[in-house]
Amino acid sequence: MNDYMNNFRLDGKIALVTGASYGIGFAIAKALSAAGATICFNDIKQEFVDKGLANYEQAGIKAHGYVCNVCDEDAVNALVKQIEEEVGVIDILVNNAGIIKRIPMCEMTAAEFRQVVDVDLNAPFIVAKAVIPSMIKKGHGKIINICSMMSELGRETVSAYAAAKGGLKMLTKNIASEYGGYNIQCNGIGPGYIATPQTAPLREVQPDGSRHPFDQFILAKTPANRWGEATDLGGPAVFLASEASDFVNGHILYVDGGILAYIGKQP
C-alpha cells in the first residue's frame, strides 16, 4: 500500500500555477506543495505577487513569485526561461489565471469579448506552448487547465467566458492528442460553485433569516447540497499532477458536487 500511495507524491517536482496569489490557484498550489512539489506562481502586478508571497509564507510554503502577463507571449517565454534557470524545469503546469465579465451578450463589446478569450483561452495556449518543449526533453509533463462548468453549460451574461472555457476544454483534449506520445498528460479541472470571498455576498443570510436567492438556486442544483470549498480542488489537482494519473489524458474532471449529473429539484 505504501508503494502505491507514493504514486501520488510530487517530491522533487516543480509546479507553475498561474495567477495563484490567492483563491482557487492558491488552494491548488498549497495542495501540490503538501504533496512535495516546489511552487512557482505569477501574477500581473508586483503588489499581487507580494501579497501572494506573504500568503505562502504564512502557510509555511517557500514559493517563487514572478510578475508576468500570461497573455504576452514574449513575457511568458522569459518567465519560463527564468524559472528553468532559477528553480528548474517545470514538471507541472496549472493554467489557473482567468477572468469573467458578466455582461449580456448584446451589451458586450467585441473588445470585452476578446479580452476574456485572451486571458481564459489564448493564455493557456501560450503558457502550455512555452513549457512543452522542456517537458518533451525531460520525458514527462503534466498540464492541468482550470476549466469550468461553463465548458459544458451556458448561462445568462457569460457568453465570452463560456466560449473561452468551452475552447479550453477542446484545447485540453488537443494537447493530450498531440503530445501524449511524449508522456505528457493534459487534463482539466472544472470547478463547481466554490465558496470564496468574492461569492460571500451571495451566501449571506437575508434579514428575514432566509437564504440569498442565488444561494437557494445553487443548493437546489447541487446534489451535495452545499457550495464547494477551494480545498475540494486539492485532491483532484494532486491526482492529475502525479504519476497516479499517467494513463489519464484529455479528461475534464468536474469537481461540482454533482451539478452536471443532476436536472435539479422539482419546484
Lookup: cell for 104: 449580456
Candidates 140, 126, 137; CA nearest to 92 is 140
**Active-site residue, from 56, 66, 161, 179:** 161
| CA atoms of 108 and 90, how far apart (whole Å) | 37
- Helix, strand, coil percentages for the chain (3-state, nearest 5): 50, 15, 35
Give 242's DSSP letter. Answer: S
Is residue 161 flagged as an active site residue? yes
Burial of 219 (0-12, 13-18, 19+ CB in 10 A): middle
**Helix crossing, 159-179 with 110-117: angle to 10°?**
30
Strand-pair partners of 95: 145
User: To 5 degrees, how large is the angle CA 252–CA 255–CA 257?
Assistant: 135
User: What is the SS3 assignment for 93?
Assistant: strand
Residue 239 belongs to what H/E stretch? helix 234-241
User: What is the DSSP-derived secondary structure letter of residue 183?
Assistant: T
Asked if residues 138 and 184 have their Cβ atoms less than 8 Å apart, the reply is no
Contact 137, 123 (CB under 8 A): no
The amino acid present at 170, given as its one-letter code, is M
The residues carrying an active-site annotation are 161
